[in-house]
Amino acid sequence: MARVLVTETIAEGGLDRLRAAGHEVDVRTGLSPEDLLAAVPGAHALIIRSATQVTAEVLDAGSDLVVVGRAGIGLDNVDVAHATARGVMVVNAPQSNILSTAEHTMGMLLALARNIPQAHAALTAGRWERSKWEGVELADKVLGVVGLGRIGKLVAQRASAFGMRIVAHDPFVAPERARQLGIELLDLDELAAAADFVTLHVVKTPETLGMIGRDFFAKAKPGIRVVNVSRGGVVDEDALAEAIRDGVCGGAALDVFGSEPTTDSPLFELPQMVVTPHLGASTREAQDKAGDTIAEQVGLALAGEFVPFAVNVSAAEASEAVRPYLPLAERLGALFASLVGGAPSVLEVEYQGQIADHDTRILTLSALKGLFSASSDEPVSYVNAPQLAAERGMEVRDTATATARHYVNLVSLRGADHSIAGTLVGLQAEARIVVVDDHTVDVPPADHMLVVRNDDRPGVIGRVGTILGDAGININDMDVGRSPEGASALMVVATSSPVPAPVQDALRAAEGVVSVAAL
């Protein structure tokens, strides 16, 4: 099926899932950058963790790549922008290690407060230093949580159980949502001045790089303690060492570093430091979850299906209300391309009904994916479908209205004087094509369909059926639609097999038939 290159240790359960799907799983750990460039050509998927650097050069060498999967959260070792430009999907496993990381943060918080590693080292070295390693309680202390995402919220909940007061900094969280969690939102300077402890739960970006640095410590509460189990580089390690030596910072617990792996740092010489070698996600449960999740995401990407954790696809997180419509939107796009005979210069996508209350951008991507799949010489994904539209000069307009006259929800495509619309019906959410070229019909989408325009007069339907029957083609489904004016009719016919070109020509020549389009 596809070659999946795996360059770091991944839980075998996930790899077995890919093998069971028929893919060739090529495990090559410990590759140098040069070895990686030699190994990636011919691979359709690349699975990594944090050590492999997926640079633009690697992506260019992997000309067959469909997807890069990161078994974990952080993506600072992947050139996501270049992957997007190349039409390569990037996926991660954002929920696999959130619990492990939150628990490790709490462990580091407690170890920092009570000097547990230092006391352990002294005692095992033969020194009973009970008075030297006096600690502080967490109860009634202020914890500043920087980054109130999934992990930050878990840490806040657990710290609250210790009697800590929680403040947070996160410009992407609404104050009302923070109030619901019992957390006060502050700007970073206010948090620095108020907090006894700070925990970091942010991604590494130009904005967060070195955010805990000299400016932060200059405004910080004396004796503030810092815990970082997020990404290396978020804490300026030189500034931290300086703040600890000057007594501005009471100590720090770091699980991540600006350069990894690292075994030599001025921080390691400071007795106020607690350090671990990037263990936040290093639990058996987290590794199993990451392996299973990334294998599932890569498998979906290789199959050209919806990938929930694609990070470089707009609106990749489809809501439960929207997700059932993804296959319908893709099928409508494919049928529309056949109806138009290509791609229109302007494609209008409209959502009517309850679905309009949700984010429908992923449905537009699905429609584009279906529209271009039959005509592109490269695999079409949620990533490169908009690029194909731009390259072809196609303008895409999508609109949404909560008003729907005849259906609870309706997805419509229109352009180049053609239109098609569909919906889901019944408890089983069965797909139905309900509008073709402004004619009302009701027929399930099928692999082989004909749209026959005809004069609205007796005998035409019979002639169409006779021609198909004489050719040995069975009609699986059929519906006749009338235009709003009633001046002409249209048939949508689902057949058991493709209708050959000579049979289509015979239909076009039949009395009363205006046009025939094979979808």
Give the catalytic positions in this structure.
231, 260, 278
Looking up tokens 């923070």 gives 178
Cβ-contact 517, 468 below 8 angstroms: no
Looking up tokens 């309680």 gives 137
Locate 388 and state its tokens: 């194909």
Burial of residue 161, with CB atoms counted within 10 A of its CB: 0-12 exposed, 13-18 middle, 19 or more buried: exposed
Q: How many CB atoms lie within 10 A of CB 419?
A: 19
How open is the CA angle 506-508-513, to the nearest 5 degrees? 125
Locate 44 and state its tokens: 């359709």
The residues facing 146 across adjacent strands are 169, 200
Locate 362 and state its tokens: 């992923």
Q: How many CB atoms lie within 10 A of CB 435?
A: 21
Residue 486 makes CB contacts below 8 A (sequence gap 6+) with 456
Q: CA–CA distance from 260 to each of 30, 50, 277 (Å)?
A: 15, 10, 9
SS3 420: strand
What is the distance between the alpha carbons of residues 101 and 150, in angstroms, rounded to a whole number? 10
Locate 85 and state its tokens: 């430009």
Beta strands in 203-335 (DSSP E): 224-228, 249-254, 273-275
Residue 174 makes CB contacts below 8 A (sequence gap 6+) with none
Cβ-contact 457, 512 below 8 angstroms: yes
What is the distance between the alpha carbons of residues 303 and 63, in angstroms, rounded to a whole number? 18
Q: What's at 18, amino acid-wise?
A: L
Tell me the torsion sign for CA atoms 108, 111, 115, 116. Answer: negative
Locate 303 and state its tokens: 């199959």
SS3 125: coil
Burial of residue 519, with CB atoms counted within 10 A of its CB: 0-12 exposed, 13-18 middle, 19 or more buried: buried
What is the distance between the alpha carbons of residues 514 and 422, in angstroms, rounded to a whole number? 24
